[in-house]
Structure 1
Amino acid sequence: MPLLTPTEITRIRDLGVLRRGDEIEAHLRNEIHYRGKVEDTAPGLGVVWIRDESDGQRAILHADEYAIWQIRAVVPVSVPTDSAPDPATGLAA
């Protein structure tokens, strides 16, 4: 059974913040039309090129046609159990 990774989804209004390899979705009328990894951007033209994960084709997305959302994995922060202080003494184990 695959493990699910928590994700953070952020609306992108400035294509200049996107980098090659970023995972994005393109929404139109609250539906996902494209999802894939950024291959190139032209912020001055308002376009981003992705490799669509559904069919492997390259797609050009116009920011004035789609709402662009960046998808990022959220890495949970955990404290290793061996470095946690002992509750009785307050000293590291």
Structure 2
Amino acid sequence: MKKTVKVFCSVLTLFLLALPIITHACPGCAETANESLARGFNNSILFLMAMPFTIVGGVALCLVVMHRRQQLAMKTNAKVSPITSEKEEERT
């Protein structure tokens, strides 16, 4: 039984070593002949990486602007809508 397992493992190893090795790098490196495709692939990766930062930055900017408008309204004792920055008239 042990001899059969050893022979099987040896044949399997030789078979795997005899197969041509087909390896590909990332699509950016594999397509060096077609440089425009590689450049497009790299640009798409950069765009996808930048989107979360753009979204978070936009939300943070919106919050900062709303906070500053509210602080300005508190200083001037006027009621200012934090979203539209239009003064609301006091009804007294």
User: Given the two structures, how large is their TM-score scaled by the length of structure 2?
Assistant: 0.19
Structure (1 or 2) with the greater helix fraction: 2
Structure (1 or 2) with the greater strand fraction: 1
Q: Which of the pair has more CA radius of gyration?
A: 2
